[in-house]
């Protein structure tokens, strides 16, 4: 004995409504998932390109590094506050932030931001 006791049979309108639900919502979710997945892939692939080669040895060594993060624009309050989660903001020179005591994992995390141009040693 299932839900049919309560619903009195699936009406034509009901069937149509369910079809609409499946169609509209599912299509949206699918599109959203695909877009999100593609975007994440792009971020992951482009991230290493943002890290300056000169930083390689320091990253391989591990521990804390001091970096220069160059953006494509003058950083706003939003960006300085964001970077305070990753290290100590020592100063700002034009489009570049000086960030101290950053963990190596965090350097890679910062490299994933699409709005970051380059991460170089100080």
Partner 1 sequence: MGWRAALATWAALLGGVLAAWSLAAATLPMPAYVLPPPTAVLEALVDLARKGILPTYVGESLRRIVQAALVAVAVGVPAGVLLGMSRRAAEFSYPLLSFFQSVSGIAWLPLMLIWFGFGERTILIAVNYTVLFPVVFNALLGVRSVPQIYVNALRTLGASRWRIAWAVLLPGALPSIATGVRLGLAYGWRALIAAEMLVGANGLGFMIFSAQPFHLTARIMLGMGIIGVLWTLLDYFFLRPLEDATIARWGLVQR
Interaction site with partner 1 (CB under 8 A): 1-3, 5-8, 10-11, 13-14, 16-18, 20-21, 24-25, 28, 71-73, 76, 78-79, 82, 113-115
Nearer to partner 1 by Cβ, of 9 and 57: the residue is: 9
Question: Whole-number minimum distance, CB 118 to partner 1, in Å?
Answer: 15
d(CA 66, CA 57) in angstroms, rounded, equals 13
Name residue 102's beta-bridge partners.
65
State in angstroms the smallest separation of the CB of 62 from partner 1.
Answer: 27
Closest Cα to residue 71, out of 54, 58, 89, 59? 89
Cα–Cα distances in angstroms (integers) from residue 2 to residues 8, 56, 121, in the given order:
11, 63, 66
**Which is closer to partner 1, CB of 62 or CB of 94?**
94
């Amino acid at each position: 004995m299932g839900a049919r006791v309560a619903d009195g049979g699936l009406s034509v309108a009901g069937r149509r409504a369910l079809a609409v639900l499946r169609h509209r919502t599912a299509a949206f979710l699918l599109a959203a998932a695909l877009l999100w997945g593609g975007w994440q892939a792009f971020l992951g692939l482009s991230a290493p390109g943002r890290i300056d080669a000169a930083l390689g040895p320091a990253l391989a060594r591990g521990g804390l590094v001091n970096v220069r993060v160059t953006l494509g624009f003058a950083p706003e309050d939003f960006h300085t506050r964001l970077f305070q989660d990753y290290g100590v903001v020592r100063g700002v020179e034009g489009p570049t932030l000086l960030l101290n005591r950053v963990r190596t994992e965090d350097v890679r995390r910062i490299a994933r931001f699409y709005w970051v141009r380059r991460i170089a040693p100080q």
